[in-house]
């Protein structure tokens, strides 16, 4: 069964997404000042009419782009694919001579750039269905297989459907910390969170495999929400694809390089590492920097299209920079625009961004944006900060841990004080 390739088109028709979320067609209620937990509601200053006017304006922006898609957009993605494949071919050819260090540097740099382009600007956006309107089977979300360990269909279900439906909703969006990190004070603290800075570093280094494991939906299996047979079938599919990619990069290409086999193997490993670190950084900068909001589950009860739009704007952050930055991030430097319009061609985000920013500022909504170093530092700051219990709970938490540990500690008799 084919997966829905664009979330926004599903929402536009007000059909329930596969994640089980249905947009309400009734008039929205006035947002409460706080959620039941006491957390402030970031929509509280907006009236129901304002929220729906925001939705109508964004619908208008989206429709304008849909109506203007054409040859220049098709040429953009086809040209980019040619450039990326040519860059990969040239880089792998140069690596045949990688026993000479200049060839190793040139080939490794080119291969790293090639993998980033394929992953970020091509694969991610093709799998969102951004180019399905071209009706070209070579650039279609149902047939594209990207250079990542995660099978395309599994990623589409976990990302396009689950994440984009429940963006930053605590307990619903499993991309919020990827089930391994605590990144919000409302999330329960566990002793294992103490080492999450190290966990996140390992996740960055092996990011493509972390994504593949995440996309399997293991927590859903544990909750009884996934069929075990289907889960095992998906696991076998993922392992086969990951194995093919590992064989290609770490066996086949080094073997073809002959005397340069070991340098080629190291070049492939380096290129994968660079791609993993870059993709991890861009994604974390789009979802975790300071100013990006999280939401309680009650926020999506009877959620209207306008409310969905506002949640996407407040639950995302942008990276500022020039054209090369936007290209190498797959235009996920426009994360706000991407979450609003995940099925629009990525080369159009730059032209709609000023209108989105003006709209948000007009309604008192914070347009989160900043340079890469600032956004990355802010995201990592959350990883470190929430590795510890919340400030008001730290003393009580330490006492509980002490009561668990101290009874197990035996004091040697030689150190016991005489009676």
> pLDDT tens digits, residue range 263-315?
999 999 999 999 999 999 999 999 999 999 999 998 888 899 999 999 999 99
H-only helix segments in 248-314: 253-256, 261-287, 305-314
Q: DSSP characters for 148-210?
A: SSS-HHHHIIIIIIIIHHSTTBTTT-TTSSTTT---STTSPP-GGGGGHHHHHHHHHHTHHHH
- Among candidate residues 278, 252, 276, the one with its CA nearest the CA of residue 265: 252
Q: Is the pLDDT of residue 412 over 80?
A: no
For residue 163, give Cα distances in angstroms to 19, 47, 179, 230, 413. Answer: 9, 27, 13, 20, 57
Q: Summarize pLDDT for 104-159 with one digit per residue, the tens.
A: 999 999 999 999 999 999 999 999 999 999 999 999 999 999 999 999 999 999 99
Whole-number Å distance between alpha carbons of 312 and 359: 14
Q: Summarize pLDDT for 9-54 with one digit per residue, the tens.
A: 444 433 333 345 667 666 667 888 888 778 888 888 999 999 999 9
Give the total residue count for the chain: 419
Question: Which run of H or of E encompasses 369?
Answer: strand 369-370
In a domain, 415, yes or no: no
Q: By the 8 A CB rule, do 285 and 317 touch?
A: yes
pLDDT of 123: 96
Mean pLDDT of 366-386: 96
Per-residue confidence band for 178, with pLDDT thresholds at 50, 70 and 90: confident
**pTM of this structure:** 0.88
Q: Summarize pLDDT for 323-340 with one digit per residue, the tens.
A: 999 999 999 999 999 999
- Among candidate residues 53, 63, 65, the one with its CA nearest the CA of residue 351: 65
What is the residue range of 137's domain?
46-385
| Domain count for the chain | 1
3-state helix, strand, coil in the chain (%, to 5): 65, 0, 35
Q: By the 8 A CB rule, do 285 and 375 touch?
A: yes
In a domain, 240, yes or no: yes
Q: Is 81 helix (H, G, I), strand (E, B) or coil?
A: helix
In a domain, 72, yes or no: yes
Residues 6+ apart with CB under 8 A from 286: 316, 317, 318, 319, 332, 335, 338
pLDDT of 36: 79
In a domain, 209, yes or no: yes
pLDDT of 17: 39
Mean pLDDT of 243-250: 95
For residue 254, give Cα distances in angstroms to 105, 114, 190, 248, 251. Answer: 16, 18, 43, 9, 6
Per-residue confidence band for 195, with pLDDT thresholds at 50, 70 and 90: very high
Q: Is 101 exposed, middle or buried (0-12, 13-18, 19+ CB in 10 A)?
A: exposed
Whole-number Å distance between alpha carbons of 341 and 8: 7
Q: Summarize pLDDT for 331-365 with one digit per residue, the tens.
A: 999 999 999 999 999 999 999 999 999 999 999 99
Whole-number Å distance between alpha carbons of 246 and 255: 13
- Sign of the C-alpha dihedral, residues 216, 222, 226, 228? positive
In a domain, 410, yes or no: no
40 DSSP assignment: B
What are the b/e assignments for 394-409, b being 16+ CB within 10 Å? eeeeeeeeeeeeeeee
CB atoms within 10 A of CB 169: 20
Q: Summarize pLDDT for 397-407 with one digit per residue, the tens.
A: 666 766 665 55
Q: Is 240 helix (H, G, I), strand (E, B) or coil?
A: helix
Task: Kindly state the tokens that stand for 255.
Answer: 């073997």
Range with the poorest average pLDDT among 38-52, 185-199, 231-245, 401-415: 401-415
């Amino acid at each position: 069964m084919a997966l829905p390739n664009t979330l926004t088109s599903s929402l536009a028709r007000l059909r329930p997404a596969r994640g089980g979320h249905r947009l309400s067609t009734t008039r929205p209620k006035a947002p409460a000042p706080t959620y039941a937990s006491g957390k402030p509601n970031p929509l509280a200053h907006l009236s129901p009419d304002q929220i729906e006017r925001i939705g109508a304006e964004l619908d208008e922006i989206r429709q304008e782009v849909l109506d203007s898609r054409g040859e220049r957009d098709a040429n953009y993605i086809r040209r980019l694919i040619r450039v990326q494949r040519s860059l990969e071919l040239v880089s792998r050819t140069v690596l045949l001579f990688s026993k000479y260090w200049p060839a190793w540097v040139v080939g490794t740099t080119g291969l790293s750039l090639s993998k980033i382009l394929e992953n970020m600007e091509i694969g991610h956006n093709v799998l969102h269905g951004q180019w399905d309107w071209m009706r070209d089977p070579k650039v279609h979300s149902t047939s594209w297989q990207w250079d990542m360990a995660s099978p395309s269909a599994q990623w589409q279900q976990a990302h396009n459907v689950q994440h984009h439906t429940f963006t930053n909703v605590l307990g619903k969006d499993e991309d919020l910390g990827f089930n391994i990190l605590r990144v919000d004070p409302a999330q329960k603290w566990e002793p294992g969170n103490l080492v999450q800075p190290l966990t996140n570093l390992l996740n960055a280094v092996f990011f493509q495999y972390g994504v593949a494991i995440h996309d399997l939906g293991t927590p859903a299996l544990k909750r009884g929400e996934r069929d075990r047979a289907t889960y095992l079938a998906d696991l076998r599919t993922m392992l086969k694809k990951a194995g093919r990619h590992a064989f290609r990069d770490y066996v086949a290409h080094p073997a073809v390089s002959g005397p340069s086999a070991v340098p080629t193997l190291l070049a492939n490993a380096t290129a994968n590492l660079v791609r993993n670190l870059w993709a991890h950084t861009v994604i974390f900068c789009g979802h975790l920097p300071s100013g990006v909001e999280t939401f309680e589950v009650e926020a999506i009860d009877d959620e209207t299209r306008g409310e969905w739009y506002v949640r996407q704007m407040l639950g995302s952050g942008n990276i500022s920079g020039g054209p090369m930055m936007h290209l190498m991030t797959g235009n996920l430097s426009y994360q706000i625009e991407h979450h609003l319009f995940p099925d629009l061609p990525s080369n159009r985000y730059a032209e709609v961004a000023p209108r989105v920013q003006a709209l948000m500022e007009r309604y008192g909504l914070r347009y989160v944006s900043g340079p890469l170093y600032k956004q990355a530092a802010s995201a990592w700051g959350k990883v470190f900060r929430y590795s510890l219990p919340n400030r008001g709970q730290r003393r009580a938490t330490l006492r509980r841990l002490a009561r668990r540990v101290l009874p197990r500690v035996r004091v040697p008799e030689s150190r016991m004080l005489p009676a």
